[in-house]
Amino acid sequence: MIEATQTALTPSEVTKIMSTEALAEYRQKLQAQYDPNAPMIYVCCGTGCQAAGSVDVVEKFREILVGSAWDGKVVPMIKPTGCHGFCSRGPLVIIEPQDIFYQRVTVNDVQEIVEKTVLNNELIKRLQYKSAGAKESITKASEIPYYAKQTRLVLKNIGRVNPTEIGDSIIRNGYAALAKALTQMTPQQVIDEVSSSKLRGRGGAGFPTGLKWESCAKQEGLRYVICNADEGDPGAFMDRSLLEGDPHSVLEGMAICAYAVGSHRGYMYVRAEYPLAVKTLTTAIRQAEALGLLGKNIMGTGFDFEVTISTGAGAFICGESSALMASLEGKVGRPRPKYIRSVEKGFRDSPSNLNNVETYANIPSIIANGGNWYKSYGTERSSGTKVFALTGNVFNIGLVEVPMGISLMEIVFGIGGGVPNKRALKGVQTGGPSGGCIPIPHKIPDINVGYGKLAEVGSIMGSGGMIVMDEDTCMVEVARYFVNFLVEESCGQCTPCREGLTRMKEILDRITQGDGREGDIELLEEIGKFTNNFSLCGLGTSAANPVLSTIRYFREEYEAHIRDKKCPAGVCKKLFHYEIDPDICTGCGLCKSKCPVKAISGEKKKVHVIDQSLCMKCMECYKNCKFRSVKIM
Amino acid sequence: MSGTACVCQEIECREIEIDYNQLDKIIRDDYGGNKETMIMMMQAIQRVYRFLPEAALKYLSQVIDVPLTKIYEVATFYASFSLEPKGKHILTICTGTACHLRGSGGMVRHIAERMGIEPGKTTQDLKLTLETVNCVGACAVAPVAVMDEKYYPKATIATLNDFMDRLDAE
């Protein structure tokens, strides 16, 4: 994250906060300096927007507004923020107080934004958001369906606070819940409040958080509080977004947990692939310690809690609790059998409470507003909200926070905006590499997303990855992709996982290459069930899910690959070819001009033909034909 | 103090200068010689040399009193460590689910063919290392390529070719 240069709210000006009253006074002082009607320019600087050039956009705004050339009366504050979640439209700029939303802003747009919008309140049409198929563009961020249909509890600060400025968090009640817990509640009351919220672990397994804390608090001796920020599921990025956009909520949640379970040492285990998150967290911890909100004698209450960051080194298995703790000790991350749970004997053989980033980030609001408030969102068995990373073949890619129990179709169509390129929805894959594919809308019309419901249809909640797949997705290939991922990431110590995955990969490779044999499906099912039943850790016991769930719902696709040697979706290159339907082709010539190997011939306004000996099946003609005359055969 | 170590792994024999003062700084000053931070020490060493030289690992083993076999176990277990010298430039292509669905596999194959190296390997002239990563969490702008730590959203074979052309011109 970029260093802030403009705001006056730097912690260096204040001495340590020595009481909870002093925190409240400091908050009031900051709030008094903050005018909600003052112009403010928020620029998203999450990984997605940074990749699209948002850092340069911030610099350009500063250059124009902070530099001498600026003669406007009120200098708007420029706020680089964490990920707003609407990554496919980045870089995003929101202008307050009008709540004007601009998307895909480049350095070249900045001058115009300042001249027209900031100075003269004039809108720039081309930067505004338009829903798919809509004629009118939408002005306000809060009116965009993608945002309007979400319930943002855990993501509430993201996009509004500068994560490198602790003052921003404090203005929005940061550390107030910790102050409340430390002075008005006993550790047991904190645990009871969390239990009553019915919050379940957001990392995937869905274990009740209050129960876990309760068992950890019962242990004797030194205890550890550990945050699992090893977000390894490909396609999931809610933890990254929280760490980069609102690190103080996570740290506050950990501190509250430490108070509840009686710990003074915390560890944050972050993926090495998230350098920006590590940097933001480091700054956040430094600032919180400087203010006395973390470290020794927090807010003068006598409670100590220190947090250390530890980085991973690229191993998916380290997201598993016992592997993570081994890795924290500087060892290889191999899971151990769980006769003894890590709340009894974990890191350094001491009782350790491990929760996921999103779980901790939920804690401050639960303590501030009460468990009953949290429980009022979601369903009986799955309370609260969950952040999903919506990706794949869907219009609006990004993070969505919704109450548990929401319909999956509503997520895909209502919030996600549906499937692009006039393709049909084939299914949604949830739960990362160990999850399953849910065949909405054809075989299952819809489901309400919750821990129990997802398990019923053979998938899992996982960390909240949600990959939308359209009709051009080959389910056998998807299963092969996930199994291949797991083969590489399996630690290899137990036979069912190591051998089961390798054999399944061999079979799936063969099927997608056109060498599938009768009996392969049954063999995959047998190996899959064995792997899931007899592996040591969570990775192995869910490793066959992608295979078993695709066989369960898309068996006919496997059969087409094996018996007919056809890939109906047109993905497995050896198992299909393209043909132009002469009844539909208008002879527009677009495919001919797009073909990189000149395999298409035909005169203007006459039917075109593909030369099969030249075609490399790159999909260009198929994707570009406006009349869908290119057929997969 | 300084010494040399020979790294004869698949590439022609090269001598690597090891600066033991710098190693001491990493191991003792930055991480207090604490065994538990060994993974981060190794990451710091790798940032200096772009791989883990044998001599540096031997020295690490002596200072923190961890058997060299344990250090090699860690070095070979975690995907981000390399025991072979890496190239001056590192091209990482994301092969996470979203990137995979949008064709990152084809980009990996293209660069592998063009540069004549398998993913995970380095060119003979030590100019380029081609790596794949399982997800950088920027799925919205898939497929993502990371060239020398700079992210390239919605990368295409053309984007990568530009980068390779620049490399060739160096």
Q: Where are the domains of chain A?
A: 32-144, 166-375, 385-470, 475-564, 577-632
Confidence of residue B5 (pLDDT cuts 50, 70, 90): very low
Structural domain includes residue B82? no
**pTM recorded for the entire structure:** 0.90
Structural domain includes residue B26? yes
CB contact under 8 A, A47 and B79: no
Is any Cβ of chain B less than 8 angstroms from the Cβ of A537?
Answer: no
First-to-final CA distance of chain B: 34
CA distance B43 to chain A (A): 8
- Is the Cβ–Cβ distance between B160 and B91 less than 8 Å? yes
What is the per-residue pLDDT for A14?
64
Among 3.40.50.11540, 3.10.20.30, 2.40.420.20, 3.30.300.130, name the CATH number for the domain at A166-375: 3.40.50.11540
User: Are residues B94 and B64 both part of a single domain?
Assistant: no
Homologous superfamily (CATH) of A32-144 is Glutaredoxin (3.40.30.10)
Residues of the domain holding B12: 2-77
10-residue mean pLDDT profile of chain A (633 residues): values are 40 77 95 86 88 91 75 76 84 92 94 89 92 85 91 92 94 97 98 97 91 96 96 87 94 98 97 89 96 97 97 90 95 91 94 97 97 96 94 89 96 93 92 90 93 90 91 93 92 95 97 96 98 94 94 96 95 92 93 86 93 85 89 92
User: Are residues B164 and B100 both part of a single domain?
Assistant: yes
CB contact under 8 A, B151 and A50: yes
Is any Cβ of chain B less than 8 angstroms from the Cβ of A328?
Answer: yes
Residue A361: Cβ within 10 Å count: 32
**Residue in B with minimal Cα distance to A470:** B101
Domain count, chain B: 2
Is any Cβ of chain A less than 8 angstroms from the Cβ of B90?
Answer: no
Provide ipTM, 2 decimals.
0.84
The residue of B136, B146, B147, B154 whose CB has the most chain A CBs within 10 angstroms, and thus the best one to mutate to test that interface, is B136
Please say whether the dihedral angle defined by the alpha carbons of residues A382, A387, A393 and A394, taken in this order, is positive or negative: positive
- Is the Cβ–Cβ distance between A416 and A164 less than 8 Å? no
User: Are residues B94 and B164 both part of a single domain?
Assistant: yes
Among 3.40.50.1820, 3.40.50.10890, 1.20.1440.230, 3.90.1150.10, name the CATH number for the domain at A475-564: 1.20.1440.230
CB contact under 8 A, A391 and B152: no
Which residues are registered as beta bridge partners of A244?
none
The answer to whether the A385-470 and A577-632 domains have the same CATH topology is no
Q: What is the CATH number of domain A577-632?
A: 3.30.70.20
Residue numbers in B near A48 (CB within 8 A): 138, 140-141, 153
Burial grade of B12 (CB within 10 A; 0-12, 13-18, 19 or more): exposed
The more confidently predicted of residues A117 and B137 is: A117
- Where do the H-state alpha helices sit in A440-519? 451-456, 475-489, 495-512
Residue linked to tokens 């692009």: A420
What is the per-residue pLDDT for A73?
63
User: Are residues B130 and B162 both part of a single domain?
Assistant: yes
Strands A40-44 and A77-81 turn out to be parallel
- Is the Cβ–Cβ distance between A58 and A164 less than 8 Å? no
CA distance A395 to chain B (A): 10
CB contact under 8 A, A236 and B137: yes
Domain range A385-470, CATH architecture: Roll (3.10)
Residue numbers in A near B70 (CB within 8 A): 331
CB contact under 8 A, B139 and A272: no
CA distance A237 to chain B (A): 5
**Residue in A with minimal Cα distance to B42:** A313
User: Are residues B114 and B159 both part of a single domain?
Assistant: yes
Both tokens assigned to A109: 């747009």
User: Are residues B51 and B104 both part of a single domain?
Assistant: no
What is the per-residue pLDDT for A563?
96
Task: Give SS3 for A253.
Answer: helix
User: Are residues B119 and B68 both part of a single domain?
Assistant: no
pLDDT at residue B6 greater than cutoff 90: no
| Final residue in a domain of this structure, among B27, B45, B77 | B77
User: Distance (Å, rounded) from C-alpha A108 to C-alpha A96?
Assistant: 21
Structural domain includes residue B83? no
Strand (E) or helix (H) holding A571:
none
